[in-house]
């Protein structure tokens, strides 16, 4: 298997500037001569692909298995469950070493990298020739807007500990913190628009390990206090909450006027945008990720290693496919295909109609990163510290 260590590569439209800071180590920056041409209808520019965290591919390419490995890229750290974005032929991926790496999607070669902390759980947001990402450190937690034209930050904002991805929606960037804050900031300058602090919640402890989903005038996030919260997108006030019986570590997904999420009480829930229960199913597993959708079905993953297709209107099970390892990632739906990685080391492509396996690729270690499709390229990362690109 070919692995490309990230090094400076001269490309026609990209400059990489290497510099030696005051400290006794070197790092790369990313500097792109031309503007990133963002195609809002096709590119993957934020966690979940859309503010609603639907994990539906935006590519119009016709993909048919079997797929071949186009390239793989080795880094020095593993990756979180949501860490990949793509636009204009460039992949941006954050890792648990606190780096954001840019990769040419055609060649698999490094364009450069930057780092502002010891770890990052963030999908890099692609916004106006900037990358917006969160970084965590023992002493400093920040969200940074990095300018791809000049290779330096435009702004940096201190935050609490963030164990999920900020989300771009409705002209703002939304993020949640371990201490129970949900914050909306201006993506152009990092200024706070509003903050809902943990002190605003009636019950303690409140902490968020999930990315917020944004749907209409609601910001929706699940907490370790067992509640799913809906917060007003304009002023940050709590509109409603829905109580489950255990912690919520899985992001909610919003689709056709409904909110879908799983809880550690082993139930999967559907509520409407007023917080009224539509249905719930006992699937016998905990959940760690947002879901996806195929026609009128929701595609759900459990940490028991199963993928489920469930009718969105009443929760009836269509089919179930069992892998041999835990699943911590979101399914990606592209046309009639579902892409998902498992702790059994395999990256799968399933038939969305019936759940039948159509293709799989065995990696060297667990796969716990959600996949992304950009045009006819399928990108995923594994705990073997490799990024894989298939065609």
Tell me: the pLDDT tens digits for 245-279?
A: 999 999 999 999 999 999 999 999 999 999 999 99
- The yes-or-no verdict on residue 118 having pLDDT over 90 is no
Q: Are 291 and 299 in contact (CB under 8 A)?
A: yes
- pLDDT at res. 206: 80
Q: Edge to edge, what strands does the sheet with 332-334 contain?
A: 332-334, 337-341, 346-351, 357-362
- Determine the average pLDDT of the residues in 304-332: 99
**Per-residue pLDDT tens digits for 48-99:** 999 999 999 999 999 999 999 999 999 999 999 999 999 999 999 999 999 9
**Per-residue pLDDT tens digits for 205-248:** 689 999 999 999 999 999 999 999 999 999 999 999 999 999 99
Least confident of 2-6, 189-193, 320-324, 381-385: 2-6
Q: Average pLDDT over the chain, rounded to whole?
A: 91
- The yes-or-no verdict on residue 344 having pLDDT over 50 is yes
* Preceding peptide of 205 cis, ω within 30°: yes
- pLDDT at res. 201: 59
Least confident of 57-71, 115-129, 323-337: 115-129
| DSSP character at residue 342 | -
Domains of the chain, by residue range, sit at: 14-390
- pLDDT at res. 20: 29
Measure the CA–CA gap between 208 and 23, rounded to whole angstroms: 34
- pLDDT at res. 40: 87
- pLDDT at res. 7: 31
- pLDDT at res. 34: 81
> Which helix (DSSP H) or strand (DSSP E) does residue 380 occupy?
strand 377-381
**Per-residue pLDDT tens digits for 131-154:** 999 998 878 899 999 999 999 999
- The yes-or-no verdict on residue 14 having pLDDT over 90 is no
- What residues form DSSP beta bridges with 293? 298
- What residues form DSSP beta bridges with 238? 231
Cα dihedral 149/151/152/157 (nearest 10): 80
pTM for the model stands at 0.91
Q: Which residue has the higher pLDDT, 204 or 61?
A: 61
3 state DSSP class of 181:
coil
- The yes-or-no verdict on residue 203 having pLDDT over 60 is no
- pLDDT at res. 238: 96
- The yes-or-no verdict on residue 19 having pLDDT over 60 is no
- pLDDT at res. 200: 61
Which CATH number is correct for 14-390, 3.40.630.10, 3.40.30.10, 2.130.10.10, 3.40.1440.60?
A: 2.130.10.10
């Amino acid at each position: 298997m070919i692995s490309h260590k990230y090094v400076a590569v001269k490309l026609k439209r990209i400059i990489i500037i290497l510099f030696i800071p005051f400290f006794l180590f070197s790092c790369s920056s990313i500097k792109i001569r031309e503007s990133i041409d963002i195609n809002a209808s096709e590119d993957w520019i934020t966690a979940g692909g859309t503010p609603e965290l639907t994990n539906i591919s935006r590519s119009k390419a016709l993909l048919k298995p079997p797929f071949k490995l186009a390239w793989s890229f080795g880094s020095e750290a593993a990756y979180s469950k949501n860490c990949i974005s793509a636009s204009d032929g460039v992949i941006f991926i954050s890792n648990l070493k606190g780096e954001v790496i840019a990769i040419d999607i055609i060649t698999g070669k490094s364009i450069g990298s930057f780092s502002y902390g010891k770890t990052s759980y963030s999908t890099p947001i692609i916004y106006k020739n900037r990358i917006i990402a969160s970084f965590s450190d023992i002493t400093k937690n920040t969200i940074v807007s990095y300018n791809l034209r000049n290779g330096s930050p435009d702004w940096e904002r201190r935050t609490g500990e963030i164990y999920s991805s900020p989300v771009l929606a409705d002209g703002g960037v939304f993020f949640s913190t371990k201490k129970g804050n949900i914050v909306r900031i201006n993506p152009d300058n990092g200024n706070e628009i509003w903050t809902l602090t943990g002190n605003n919640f009636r019950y303690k402890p409140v902490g968020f390990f999930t990315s917020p989903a944004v749907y209409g005038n609601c910001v929706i996030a699940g907490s370790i206090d067992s509640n799913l919260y809906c917060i007003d997108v304009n002023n940050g006030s709590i509109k409603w909450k829905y109580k489950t019986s255990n912690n919520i570590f899985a992001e909610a997904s919003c689709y056709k006027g409904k909110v879908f999420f799983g809880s550690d009480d082993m139930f999967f829930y559907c509520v409407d945008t007023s917080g009224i229960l539509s249905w719930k199913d006992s699937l016998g597993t905990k959940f760690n990720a947002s879901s996806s959708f195929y026609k009128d079905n929701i595609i759900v993953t459990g940490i028991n290693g199963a993928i489920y297709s469930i009718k969105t209107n009443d929760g009836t099970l269509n089919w179930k496919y069992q892998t041999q390892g835990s699943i911590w990632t979101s399914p990606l739906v592209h046309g009639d295909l579902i892409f998902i990685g498992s702790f059994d080391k395999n990256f799968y492509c399933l038939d969305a109609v019936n759940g039948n396996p159509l293709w799989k690729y065995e990696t060297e270690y667990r796969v716990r990163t959600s996949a992304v499709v950009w045009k006819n390229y399928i990108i995923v990362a594994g705990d073997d510290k490799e990024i894989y690109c298939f065609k």
